[in-house]
A and B are shown apart, each in its own frame.
Chain A
Amino acid sequence: MTSASNVMSYQLTTIDSLYKCSFSAMASPCEILFRADSFQSANKFASFAFEETKRIETKFSRYRTDNIIYEINSANGKKIKVDEETARVLDYADQCYQLSNGYFDITSGVLRKCWVFDGTEQTPIPKQVDKLLLLVGWDKVVWNNSYIQLLPGMEIDFGGIVKEYAVDRVAEKSITYDISKIMVNFGGDIRTKNCKPDESPWVIGIENPEKEESPLGTVEMNNGGIATSGDSKRFCFHNGKRLGHILNPKTGWPIKDAPRSITVIASNCTEAGMLATMAMLKGGDAKQFLDLQGVRYNCVTK
């Protein structure tokens, strides 16, 4: 049963007693497993899920020139009024900046201009980093809950928030389509929901980022989120030492001793993703940080 074969749309199929909606968005394979009363209502929801994900991707992508992110980043010092949803994401980013003592910073993206994580010895010259650091720092941004003002040259991006947000949005909105059991999985960032207590829990395998063929284990979950931070394929070497791609917004250099990857289980995907990202920014103290939070996690350090 395929409702559409166009790559710009989604596919809806059935597996056992569940529907599976799959499409490609946010540079990831996206997959939604859910239970619905009929193919018709399943298709209605699948269509919504696809449209909603695309909407969020389009609205918050840093690669486009027709969205709010571009408008903010190209304002050249001017004040920009933002809409409701953008304001909520900016509020959230602001709170995460403060909760992480300034380590999670949505203005740190400009640093990527001088870093190429291609697995070689190529690192930028310190002067280049220092120059870009002048354009980094959420504390330099004026944000008054409806207007945002960046210094000319500064940029923001919602990496670390948007994909997880889309996962949760799709899962949360499923209630209005009378979907009682759902798992949203966008490239390993997962949210599950079981509205009926007697439903069997979702069983989710945790991938090993180093060896895809040998998963680390499985997790049983009714309502919750899983997200992973880290990308073992993006790194470089400096003086023979491997440096991961997580950049420290205070030094402009990669975080020291950052784990290869961190997977966190929390009550939703956005929270799990942020905890994983913040743990990553703690470098060698990542595990200690996660233990303190009292969450289940998996940390790959080698």
Chain B
Amino acid sequence: MQLNNQKSIKSALAIATTVLLGTSVARATDVESTLLVYSEKDRVSAAEGAVAVSHNLDENNQVRIKLTFDALTGASPNGATTSKNIQTYTRPSGVGTYTSQPGQTPLDNTFHDSRVSVNGLYTKRLGRLTSISIGGNFSSEFDYTSLGINSGISRDFNNRNTTITLSGSLSVDKIRPVGGVPIPFASLPLPSTSLPRVGPDDTKKTYDLLLGITQTIDRKTLFRANYSYSHAKGYLNDPYKIVSVVQDESSPNPGEPVDFIYEKRPDTRSKQAIYARLKRYFNGNNCDISYRFFWDDWSLTSHTIDLFYLWDLKKGRSLEPHFRWYHQSASDYYVPMLVENRPLPQFATADYRLSTFSAVTVGLQYAFQVIPAHTMKLTFEYYRQFGDSSPPEIFGSLLNYDTFPALKAIMIRLGYDFSF
């Protein structure tokens, strides 16, 4: 026999042998932890911590438990338009007021919240090609509770080069707004008065379905595509968001508010997304690019591109720049404000998160090995939203103000991962 193939097969054979002997899965525990500080200029600040522990019970059974804690404080836009006067709003509780200064974006500064959440996932391999999982999650904040279950199945095909995943989840959320659930389109109560409320709380149910395919393209390339469908039913308003009703063009003060009313959104929302991701290895470095197209039946659509490039600096150190671009076009229900003497639309929200805007994230992560199997990661990211400062719907005094003052935020993350 000729040695026509002058290539060492030892490493290839070693991998094949490892698979045969089933030694690749050790009895190991992986711990991931992250501390995140998020800070918006003049607005919300948040601190978030998370710890996830994955443990292989044996070759076929794995559990993962994740604990998240976050604390939020600061001011958030309440949806009202900017005015040349001082504006006064009754606090959501009905007790006390807060104000916004002339020419300033109205912000609700009562915003402070903390949230704890627990996630558990159990994964079981059924033979070489199939695995199933079942999980649950619970989260709680002072005005919101969520309980969910999820389950999935995945199967390998095509010599394990293709994996198809199907999973579903169901969650039931309970909302208990401070001061009760406001009646949609009702006026904000006058200070020290109370208005009738829908009730003390309301619920929301969400069903999710995810179909995914992971495909090995070649020795250095991995492709993933998902289709996801999510249907929410129940209370979908933001109980703290209001809409300004302004004087019309023929009034003495066009664009100045006459009333503030609670927003009103439909009670169902179906979201769909297609997500595609490519991971490729280049000479020790690694590129990870993904694209998401999202649309829902509130006619909001969005495009997201996420790009990571990992430079392996050897000796366990790496540098990973990150770039993200996001653009969404507004939901049909988004209005910057409502106008006096005009018929009320069926639904209306002035929540900027349903308006048209773009966002960019740039970031850099440095990771290094502290001791073998212990990695520390430092990440710095900058996030900025760009919206339409002067949408066509506005008129009068509103033309003097920036309808979409850019949101600028920095995120600093400290991560520590280890295995034992």
A interface, CB within 8 angstroms of B: 84, 87-89, 91-92, 95-96, 99-101, 103, 145-146, 165, 168-169, 172, 175, 248, 255, 266-268, 270-271, 274-275, 278, 281-283, 285, 288-289, 292-295
- Asked whether any CB of chain A lies closer than 8 Å to the CB of B346, the reply is no
B3-A91 in contact (CB<8A):
no
Determine how close the nearest CB of chain B comes to the CB of A264; give it in whole angstroms. Answer: 10
Q: Which of A84, A87, A168, A295 contacts B21 (CB 8 A)?
A: A168
List 15 A-B pairs, Cβ < 8 Å. A88-B19, A95-B13, A95-B16, A96-B16, A101-B5, A103-B1, A145-B129, A146-B129, A165-B20, A172-B22, A266-B10, A282-B1, A282-B3, A283-B1, A285-B3
Q: Is the CB of A292 within 8 A of B1?
A: no
Interface residues of B in 1-27 (CB under 8 A from A): 1-10, 12-14, 16-17, 19-23, 27
B159 at the interface (CB under 8 A from A): yes
Q: A84-B128, A145-B129 are in contact. Are A96 and B21 (CB under 8 A)?
A: no
Q: Interface size (B, Cβ < 8 Å)?
A: 26
Q: Are A275 and B13 in contact (CB under 8 A)?
A: yes
Asked if A292 and B129 sit within 8 Å, CB to CB, the answer is no
Residues of B within 8 A of A168 (CB): 21
1/0 contact string of B140-184 vs chain A (CB within 8 Å)? 000000000000000000011000000000000000000000000
Q: Is the CB of A91 within 8 A of B13?
A: no
* Nearest B residue (CB) for A89: B20
Residues of A within 8 A of B127 (CB): 84
The answer to whether B21 and A268 touch across the interface, beta carbons within 8 angstroms, is: yes
Kindly provide the distance from the CB of A194 to the nearest chain B CB, expressed in whole angstroms.
Answer: 16
Residues of A within 8 A of B12 (CB): 95, 99
Contacts of B8 in A (CB 8 A): 292-294
How does the 8 Å CB contact mask read for B72-93 relative to A, with 1 for contact and 0 for none? 0000000000000000000000
What residues of chain B lie closer than 8 Å to A101, measured between beta carbons? 4-5
- Beyond the given A168-B21, A248-B1, could you list 17 further A-B residue pairs with CB under 8 A, ordered by the A residue number? A84-B128, A88-B19, A88-B22, A89-B20, A91-B19, A95-B16, A103-B1, A172-B21, A175-B27, A267-B14, A270-B21, A271-B10, A274-B13, A282-B1, A285-B3, A288-B3, A292-B3
A12 to B106, CA, bound (A): 83
CA distance A101 to B21 in the complex (A): 23
- Given the complex, which residues of B lie within 8 Å of A274, measured CB to CB? 13, 17
- Give complex CA distance A175, B26 in Å: 11
